[in-house]
Structure 1
Amino acid sequence: MEPRPLTLALRLAVTLSPDGRWTARAELPDGSVKVFSSPFELARFVAQAPVAVPGKGGGLR
């Protein structure tokens, strides 16, 4: 049996305040909430998660 790829499913809400502050709130599959204060922090979190890469061959990123 071939191993199934891991996926990360989350709900994400991004807000930009009138004074330019950026925040994102993610609801993770286990019900926990993570708040990010910059797009770079969010990108770093997503880049470190084992996410299935679509396309030929699949695999993890």
Structure 2
Amino acid sequence: MVRRGRRRRRPPAAHRRRHCHRSAWPRNWARANGYDVPIRGRIPAEVRHAWELAHESS
């Protein structure tokens, strides 16, 4: 017998939209500061770390 894994449900569209700004801000900051970041997908750890350091006190 072959067991099927659980299907993962996608979060509601509203949740995805709310989460989007979390990656948009570091992405825009990175581009303005000379980092090469993809339009979509994972933000490189180096870029995320630099963004966090730059916004530590705010």
Could you tell me the TM-score, scaled by structure 2's length? 0.28
Larger Cα Rg: Structure 1 or Structure 2?
Answer: 2
Could you tell me the TM-score, scaled by structure 1's length? 0.27
The higher relative CO (CA closer than 8 Å, separation ≥ 6) is in: 1
Report the structure, 1 or 2, having the larger helix content: 2
Report the structure, 1 or 2, having the larger strand content: 1
